[in-house]
Amino acid sequence: MGSRSRERRSEAVQSTNDSSALSKSSLAARGYVHDAFAALLVPGTARRAPLIHRGYYVRARAVRHCVRAFVERTCAAPGSPRAQILSLGAGSDSLYFRLKTAGRLAEAAVWEVDFPDVAERKAQRIRDTPDLCALTGPFQRGDPGSNLCFESSDYRILGLDLRQLQRLDQALAAAGLDAAAPTLLLAEAVLTYLEPDDAAALIAWAAQRFSNAIFVVYEQMRPQDAFGEFMQQHFRHLNSPLHGLDRFPDAEAQQKRFLQAGWTACRAMDLNEFYRCFLPAEERRRVENLEPFDEFEEWHLKCAHYFILAASRGDSLSQTLVFPPSETFPRIDPASPSGVFPASVVTGDTQGPGLRRYGHASVLLSPGVIFSAGGFGEQEGRHCRVSKFHMLLRDSDFEWKGNQIGSWGTGAQWDGRLYHTMTRLSDTQALVLGGRLSPVTPALGILQLSYEKEDNSSEDPNVTVTKFGPEDSTLSRWRHSTTEVSCENQKYLFVYGGRSVAEPVLSDWHFLHVGTMTWVRIPVEGEGPEGRHSHSACSWQGGALIAGGLGASEEPLSSVFFLKPITCGFLWESIAIQPPITPRYSHTAHVVNGKLLLVGGVWIHSPAVPGVTVIDLSTGLSFEYQIDTTCVPWPLMLHNHTSILFPEEQQLLLLGGGGNCFSFGTHFNPHTVTLDLSSLSARQ
């Protein structure tokens, strides 16, 4: 790399601090954390989205947890040497000011290092802000030409490149850092910006230099899966690529890395585990209710792609249990796969517009006609709640072709809902129930969609939207399921679960009589499933199979229930599964030859990527199948998608899917993909 492009990359890396500082300031402004200083340390303001707030919240809490463990251990013992916190790549972080106001720096001091420009800007901002100066007390600049930009009795800011270890070492010693004193080294979202060899040298230097220390790291991992690839693409586009993720792809590899570099104890975990095991349930509830929120998939995926690590060494600190063992987060090791379902593209760019959307619904209207409606996606070059319908039509050569169509006539129009359900009524009609416009605005009313295509006409087909039925609260829900069931030879739609503005999960159900379009009461015996949304539901033997979902407290579920038809109603039966399946949600499901297939989705208890879980409904035995994505454009995100089964052809079409991936942008799967299920019949 030439010196100009090295410089540009270095500027890009420095600007990651600006974005991070604005997010931290927005986080505090919305009440997620108490931090009166974040806003003072950054010029300007930005209001971040709830998903970004949650991501930064869990990061702040994870780092705070480690800092507290260190401070409590080192500042408790009277007469012990002054503790030191050395923040590497500190950027505009407000840690010093938070510790100072909390009275935590009586026996401790803070050193910060960042590139000279970043360090100088921060020092200047502190000097210019009376509220900050009041906390630092008297201060001075370092000598001209020195790396010291700011110096007070307990706070120093140094402008240095972390890749120049000798200079770093000398400058820190000159600024009074005592290598024998208990030291916390903090690298919050920093090491992945260094080339792996530079990061390795820094970790090894710290282990050699500090005899009694804790090294805390927060950063990205899991580069190989779809979300990980999307995350890496984002940082590459920013010209600040993430380094070292392939060498240290998970928490275990990170632990090993530190132990091999001279640290004597180390524990790392992903942020899902940290959130569930180290934050009290009450605090989680507080945060989960701060803002309307409906991006669970990407919240969990984001947390699965970051880790918090604490490595320690030395007489006293190596015994500090920053993360005491926790029993409450069961890790489920993926069962060895029983087979593979190869994926291939069915509609490329030349076969009409793709279905670049998520949170939509799809139905098979007739053998070669798949109709999709709603969701959030790309339309006319914009990201929006899509108003156009999508048809996938199979021609006489058995090739699928996509087409976007608008609604017709002067009547009702598509209202822009997502997370609704859609059920086939006839070869040309579908019924839409529930859904939402925003997380605080449910979609109102039942919609009937009628699709018309004149035979041999070259005109585009039309869809008419008819709104009917009372706008009652029964359907003020989304992320629910609608399943065709039958009772005494009558067909009903069984609407179950979901969430609403007032309820994070719903556990109620309703039967819609299809002939008369009226809600009816049908007796249901047995203990029903716990409330959930984003579960799967499919018709089986006249009843409905409900699987997984996200439960109360935002916990993925593994239970599978059968709403079984009995003489004059239904009975809830729980299905025992062996081995137990990994809790998941936002998947789709189908029954093929007495086997329930759970396709894709999101889970947080396993490091593997959810493929297809197959449950034999007669024995309860479960098997894992991987999805081979080598022949499809990557990344392919299998959540918020829909799927249509073609049992005779042993094919499963996967349509749309993706989501708003944290600060990395929005991903839409570009193509419709098919899974070849033929290896399933080989097991029979």
Ligand X SMILES: C[S@@+](CC[C@H](N)C(=O)[O-])C[C@H]1O[C@@H](n2cnc3c(N)ncnc32)[C@H](O)[C@@H]1O
* Binding flag, residue 110, ligand X (CB under 6 A): no
Cα pseudo-dihedral 255, 258, 262, 266, rounded to 10: -40
Binding region for ligand X (CB under 6 A) out of 125-133, 189-197, 254-262, 612-620: 189-197
Question: Closest CB to ligand X among 41 and 675?
Answer: 41
Residue 291 — φ and ψ, nearest 5°?
Answer: -140, 150
Question: Closest CB to ligand X among 220 and 588?
Answer: 220
- Shortest CB 20 distance to ligand X, Å: 4
For residue 191, give the DSSP letter.
G
Question: Closest CB to ligand X among 235 and 376?
Answer: 235
* Binding flag, residue 244, ligand X (CB under 6 A): no
* Binding flag, residue 297, ligand X (CB under 6 A): no
* Binding flag, residue 654, ligand X (CB under 6 A): no
The bridge status of strand 436-438 relative to strand 441-442 is antiparallel
Question: Closest CB to ligand X among 20 and 212?
Answer: 20
The bridge status of strand 588-592 relative to strand 543-547 is unpaired
In contact, 585 and 546? CB cutoff 8 Å:
no
* Binding flag, residue 193, ligand X (CB under 6 A): yes
* Binding flag, residue 493, ligand X (CB under 6 A): no
Site string for ligand X, 605-624 (x = CB under 6 A): --------------------
Burial string for 485-522 (b: 16+ CB within 10 Å, else e) reads bebeeeebbbbbbbbbeeebbbeebbbbebeeeebeeb
**Cα dist from 227 to 165, 305, 627, whole Å:** 34, 8, 15
* Binding flag, residue 16, ligand X (CB under 6 A): yes
Among 32, 37, 70, 115, binds ligand X (CB under 6 A): 115
* Binding flag, residue 189, ligand X (CB under 6 A): yes
In contact, 446 and 420? CB cutoff 8 Å:
no
Among 99, 118, 158, 361, binds ligand X (CB under 6 A): 118
Binding region for ligand X (CB under 6 A) out of 85-93, 330-338, 413-421, 566-574: 85-93
Question: Closest CB to ligand X among 189 and 310?
Answer: 189
* Binding flag, residue 90, ligand X (CB under 6 A): yes
Among 9, 30, 125, 163, binds ligand X (CB under 6 A): 163
* Binding flag, residue 95, ligand X (CB under 6 A): no
State the DSSP H helix or E strand holding residue 187, giving kind and residue range, or none if neither: strand 183-188
Structure tokens at 148: 């010291």
How far is C-alpha 117 from the chain's CA centre? Answer: 33
In contact, 617 and 212? CB cutoff 8 Å:
no
Binding region for ligand X (CB under 6 A) out of 103-111, 182-190, 617-625, 651-659: 182-190
In contact, 667 and 661? CB cutoff 8 Å:
yes
- Shortest CB 19 distance to ligand X, Å: 7
* Binding flag, residue 17, ligand X (CB under 6 A): yes
Structure tokens at 87: 């923040």
**Cα dist from 225 to 239, 486, 610, 623, whole Å:** 21, 41, 10, 21
- Shortest CB 280 distance to ligand X, Å: 24
Q: What span, in angstroms and rounded, lies between the C-alpha atoms of 95 and 157?
A: 12
Q: For 95-115, what is the HEC assignment?
A: HHHHHHHCCCCCCEEEEEEEC
Question: Closest CB to ligand X among 91 and 228?
Answer: 91
* Binding flag, residue 20, ligand X (CB under 6 A): yes
* Binding flag, residue 112, ligand X (CB under 6 A): no
In contact, 51 and 26? CB cutoff 8 Å:
no
Among 86, 126, 162, 242, binds ligand X (CB under 6 A): 162
- Shortest CB 329 distance to ligand X, Å: 25
Number of chain positions touching ligand X (CB under 6 A): 20
Site string for ligand X, 121-160 (x = CB under 6 A): ----------------------------------------
- Shortest CB 12 distance to ligand X, Å: 10
SS3 of residue 220 by DSSP: strand
* Binding flag, residue 668, ligand X (CB under 6 A): no
Q: Which residue type does 209 have?
A: R
* Binding flag, residue 62, ligand X (CB under 6 A): no
- Shortest CB 157 distance to ligand X, Å: 12
State the DSSP H helix or E strand holding residue 57, giving kind and residue range, or none if neither: helix 50-76
Structure tokens at 494: 């069984």
Among 50, 91, 223, 565, binds ligand X (CB under 6 A): 91
The bridge status of strand 651-655 relative to strand 673-676 is antiparallel
Among 158, 190, 308, 617, binds ligand X (CB under 6 A): 190
* Binding flag, residue 306, ligand X (CB under 6 A): no
- Shortest CB 103 distance to ligand X, Å: 23
* Binding flag, residue 161, ligand X (CB under 6 A): yes
Structure tokens at 182: 């208990």
How far is C-alpha 410 from the chain's CA centre? Answer: 40
* Binding flag, residue 66, ligand X (CB under 6 A): no
* Binding flag, residue 266, ligand X (CB under 6 A): no
Query: Strand order of the sheet with strand 642-646?
Result: 588-592, 595-599, 612-616, 622-628, 339-345, 673-676, 651-655, 642-646
Give the footprint of ligand X on this chain (CB under 6 A). Answer: 13-14, 16-17, 20, 89-91, 93, 114-115, 118, 161-163, 188-190, 193-194
